[in-house]
Chain A
Amino acid sequence: MADTAPATPTSPTSRAVSRPVSEALLNEKWDRCFSNLIIKSSLGLGFGVVFSVLLFKRRAWPAFVGVGFGAGRAYEECNSSLKQAAKEIRKQA
């Protein structure tokens, strides 16, 4: 999804880049979601590994649980951001 980067016009113009073009709104959201997913999952994984080493005699499951927590958190945030955007769209319409 990140393949279609914000579609900048082919020529260098004086267009303000502060606001993304409208067709890239969704892609930007997806990008955020993925980065969020990666960050949260790795955080969860780290916590899981630490816990497994410290408390659970190097079992595998705490790491998986941490990853699951991170991914779930990221998923939920992404979901809420998408729904928020949908709500705003509906309000505008």
Chain B
Amino acid sequence: MLRTSIRSVRALGSRPAAAVAGRQWQASAARRAVVSGQRFYAKPLVDEAKLPAAETLTAPATPPPPPPQTTPAATITPEQAPLTPPAPGPAVVPPPPPPVAPIVPKKKGFFRRLRNFLLKLVLLGVLGFGGGVWYSRINDNFHDFFTQYIPYGEEAVLYLEELDFRKRFPNVTNRVTGRRADTASEQVSIPAQSGASWRVADGDHAGRQSSGVAQKVVAAKDAVKDTVKDIVKPEPAAVTKAKKETAALPKVEAKDAALEKKAKGVEEKKEEVAVIPSAATSSKPKEFRAPDVNEPSVWPPASPIDPLSVPHADDAIVQQLVHMLNDIITVINYDGAADKYSQTIWKAKDEVSKVGERILSIKSAAEEEAAKQVKARIDSFDKHANDLVSRLEAIMLAQEQQWRQEFEAEVERLKHNYDDKIKLIQEREQKLSEQKLQNKLLEQAVELQRQFSRDIKKHVEEEREGRLGRIESLSRAVSELEKLTTGLNEVVDTNLRTQQLHVAVEAVRASLEDAHHPRPFIKELVALKEIAADDPVVDAAIASIHPSAYQRGISTSAELIDRFRRVAAEVRKASLLPEDAGVASHASSYLLSKVMFKKQGLAAGDDVESILTRTQTFLEEGDLDNAAREMNTLGGWAKTLSRDWLSEVRKVLEVQQALDSYSGPDRLSNSYSDTSARSDFT
């Protein structure tokens, strides 16, 4: 046992490739070992089990097999081998080499494997994340996906992008980032007084004035006001008026509208200030907060110049001017240089308003002028139009008169012409009629002469004809006498022929009636035709007989009746058939016809049974004609079945009729009368 194991181990050791193979066989080998009861490998080497790192990967799920460290041949020492417990059965077959090889120690492998696994996981994760970041910078779709679904992916990508951006544009990035940092960190604070604001004209603003001045102003307030008001007296009215107008013209003052509204209260005062800059400071002492005693005295700031407004500033030029000036004023106001420019601006304002007024006056003057001109022009036009109308009327009247005269003259002339023509035509016609009359007279004369000559000729001829005619009539009488003699011979001949004909016809009839069976009577007919010798009546009669009748003969009445019985039986079978009969209806008709009642004599009715009964009755009476007529009224299958019988009957009838037609007494008497007529002629 021992030896075998060692040997097998050695054999393994000599071939390191076997270790690999052994690993592959590990599971099966272990199972086999269990089956065969070779558990002796498992126990003693449990503590020494050592798992190579590679083993974990190949078979992580395998239960730790009996772990003697036999895989690497070198690790097996001779001391280890005997530690294996003896096999339970001494007769155990020496174990195959593979079971030895796969037994790998794996005891402490778990943590190691875990560590390895985690390490790889982290490595893989980092690699994957890095790759994702890198790829997301290349592919847009992937970028979206990555930033959306991978945690921290967006941050990483953004960071990288920013890095890249900064590398590419160091200046720009600095500036951008710097500014961004500023805006992010600090709030932009705008000073209260900065920017355009309505407060420029506010009293608050005006309040910042030195108290010294203010006190002075308070003291001198009344006096100043009196003096100033005298000077500016006309001004405030004008200014207020202008204010109202500017309010009505928001288009002009659109830009300054807000300013104006707010400044309404102070407007008047400001005007005064504009007029007398020196007094301006003293005009609003109340608002100006005087500096305290410890503060240095301050000049009150000059009040801002108010914007200009012009009454009746409809004109575009004036509007533009006012606009411009107001812009300048606004600028000056904002600039705080009101006191510096107020004089100039005031002048300019004055000028502008003057210009506006002048333009207004010019406009009104021009309008008046234009109205006057228009009126004068309209008057002159009216006059001209009246003149024109009266002149036109006169001309038309004159023309009309002229035309009428011409028309009458023309009518006269035409009348004359026509009269002439009519006269001429009348004359010619008269001549023509006279000529015609003369011609007629001439013709009549000629005719009369001709008639006369003809009459004479006729008389002569008549005289001659009378004699010749007598001779001719004589000769005719002689010839007729000759004819009469020959006619007598003919009469005798005809008599003979008629007799022969009669005999022939009788022969045919005899042959027909005599026969018990149908037989051809063609010979008799031929004889009859020869005897008749082109007699049209006989010819027609023979032609009317069907060829098959005299070739085969016709059936006798007994035969006909016999056949009719058979036909009637068949017809009865089909007597109850509907229009479009199939097998079922045929069968039912056949069956039902068996149980039908038979009729007798001349039964009335249109049905097949009564028709058959009537036909039979006629046949028994010998009335073939009526029997055929009755049968002919049948229809459908009944008619089809009785077709042959009917044709047979017809043939018989035809022959009978033909024989009757030329054997009847009238026919004979006819031939006699023919001859007698001839004899009469003689």
Scoring A residues 47 to 88 as 1 if CB is less than 8 Å from chain B, else 0, what string do you get? Answer: 000000000000000000000000000010011001101110
- Cβ-defined contact, B583 with A75, below 8 A: yes
- Cβ-defined contact, A79 with B582, below 8 A: yes
Q: How far is the CB of A34 from chain B (nearest CB, A)?
A: 11
Chain A residues with CB under 8 A of B580: 83, 86-87
**Given contacts A23-B570, A79-B582, A79-B583, is CB(A93)–CB(B641) below 8 Å?**
no
B640 partner, pick from A9, A22, A79, beta carbons under 8 A: A22
Is B483's CB within 8 Å of the partner chain A? no
Complex CA distance for A5 and B201, rounded to whole angstroms: 144
B637 partner, pick from A78, A79, A86, beta carbons under 8 A: A86
Q: How far is the CB of B158 from chain A (nearest CB, A)?
A: 82
- Cβ-defined contact, A89 with B636, below 8 A: yes
- Cβ-defined contact, A26 with B644, below 8 A: no
**Given contacts A21-B644, A89-B640, is CB(A82)–CB(B570) below 8 Å?**
no
Residues of A contacting B: mostly = helix
Q: How far is the CB of A76 from chain B (nearest CB, A)?
A: 9
**Given contacts A26-B570, A26-B573, A89-B636, is CB(A82)–CB(B643) below 8 Å?**
no
Residue ID in chain A nearest B578 by CB atoms: A86
Q: How far is the CB of B611 from chain A (nearest CB, A)?
A: 15
Chain B residues with CB under 8 A of A23: 566-567, 570-571, 641-642, 644-645
- Cβ-defined contact, A83 with B582, below 8 A: yes
Is B618's CB within 8 Å of the partner chain A? no
Scoring B residues 570 to 593 as 1 if CB is less than 8 Å from chain A, else 0, what string do you get? Answer: 110110010111111010001000
Chain A residues with CB under 8 A of B642: 22-23
Query: How many residues on B have C-beta within 8 angstroms of the other chain's C-beta atoms?
Result: 31
Is A4's CB within 8 Å of the partner chain B? yes
Is A18's CB within 8 Å of the partner chain B? no
- Cβ-defined contact, B637 with A7, below 8 A: no
* Inter-chain contact total with CB atoms closer than 8 Å: 71
- Cβ-defined contact, A26 with B637, below 8 A: yes
Is A45's CB within 8 Å of the partner chain B? no
Chain B residues with CB under 8 A of A33: 583
Q: How far is the CB of A2 from chain B (nearest CB, A)?
A: 12
Complex CA distance for A64 and B570, rounded to whole angstroms: 35
**Given contacts A22-B642, A23-B566, A25-B641, is CB(A15)–CB(B552) below 8 Å?**
yes
Is B563's CB within 8 Å of the partner chain A? yes
A27 partner, pick from B570, B571, B579, B639, beta carbons under 8 A: B570
- Cβ-defined contact, A22 with B563, below 8 A: no
Complex CA distance for A15 and B580, rounded to whole angstroms: 32
- Cβ-defined contact, A86 with B581, below 8 A: yes
Complex CA distance for A31 and B639, rounded to whole angstroms: 20
Complex CA distance for A9 and B562, rounded to whole angstroms: 10
Residue ID in chain A nearest B568 by CB atoms: A23
Chain A residues with CB under 8 A of B584: 79
Complex CA distance for A1 and B580, rounded to whole angstroms: 21
Is B265's CB within 8 Å of the partner chain A? no
Is B131's CB within 8 Å of the partner chain A? no
Complex CA distance for A25 and B567, rounded to whole angstroms: 11
Chain A residues with CB under 8 A of B518: 13
Is B262's CB within 8 Å of the partner chain A? no
Q: How far is the CB of B94 from chain A (nearest CB, A)?
A: 66
Is B569's CB within 8 Å of the partner chain A? yes
**Given contacts A15-B552, A23-B571, A93-B639, is CB(A82)–CB(B586) below 8 Å?**
yes
Chain A residues with CB under 8 A of B579: 86, 90
Interface footprint category on A: 20 to 34
Q: How far is the CB of A87 from chain B (nearest CB, A)?
A: 8
- Cβ-defined contact, A25 with B640, below 8 A: yes
- Cβ-defined contact, B644 with A82, below 8 A: no
Residue ID in chain A nearest B589 by CB atoms: A26
A83 partner, pick from B566, B574, B581, B636, beta carbons under 8 A: B581
Of listed B579, B583, B635, residue having the most chain A CB within 10 A: B583
Chain A residues with CB under 8 A of B641: 22-23, 25-26
Complex CA distance for A89 and B573, rounded to whole angstroms: 17
Chain B residues with CB under 8 A of A25: 640-641
Chain B residues with CB under 8 A of A14: 552
B590 partner, pick from A1, A11, A24, A85, beta carbons under 8 A: A1
Complex CA distance for A23 and B637, rounded to whole angstroms: 10
Chain A residues with CB under 8 A of B559: 9
Is B517's CB within 8 Å of the partner chain A? yes
Chain A residues with CB under 8 A of B582: 79, 82-83
Interface hits, B623-673 → A, CB 8 Å: 635-637, 639-645
- Cβ-defined contact, B635 with A93, below 8 A: yes
Complex CA distance for A60 and B580, rounded to whole angstroms: 38
Chain A residues with CB under 8 A of B569: 4
Complex CA distance for A4 and B636, rounded to whole angstroms: 21
Chain B residues with CB under 8 A of A4: 566, 569-570
Chain B residues with CB under 8 A of A82: 581-583, 586
Q: How far is the CB of B637 from chain A (nearest CB, A)?
A: 7
Chain A residues with CB under 8 A of B574: 26
Q: How far is the CB of A21 from chain B (nearest CB, A)?
A: 5
Of listed B582, B636, B639, B645, residue having the most chain A CB within 10 A: B582
Q: How far is the CB of A84 from chain B (nearest CB, A)?
A: 10
B566 partner, pick from A7, A30, A87, beta carbons under 8 A: A7
Complex CA distance for A4 and B570, rounded to whole angstroms: 9
Chain A residues with CB under 8 A of B567: 23
B645 partner, pick from A13, A22, A92, beta carbons under 8 A: A22
Complex CA distance for A22 and B641, rounded to whole angstroms: 5
Complex CA distance for A13 and B553, rounded to whole angstroms: 10
Residue ID in chain B nearest A30 by CB atoms: B586
Chain B residues with CB under 8 A of A93: 635-636, 639
Other than the known A23-B570, A25-B641, A26-B573, what 18 A-B pairs have Cβ atoms closer than 8 Å? Answer: A4-B566, A13-B552, A15-B552, A22-B640, A22-B645, A23-B641, A23-B644, A23-B645, A25-B640, A26-B574, A26-B586, A26-B637, A79-B584, A83-B580, A83-B582, A86-B577, A86-B637, A93-B636
12 A-B pairs with CB atoms under 8 Å apart are A9-B559, A22-B644, A22-B645, A23-B567, A26-B574, A26-B637, A78-B583, A79-B584, A83-B581, A87-B580, A89-B639, A89-B640
Question: A interface vs B, CB < 8 Å?
Answer: 1, 4, 7, 9, 11, 13-15, 21-27, 30, 33, 75, 78-79, 82-83, 85-87, 89-90, 92-93
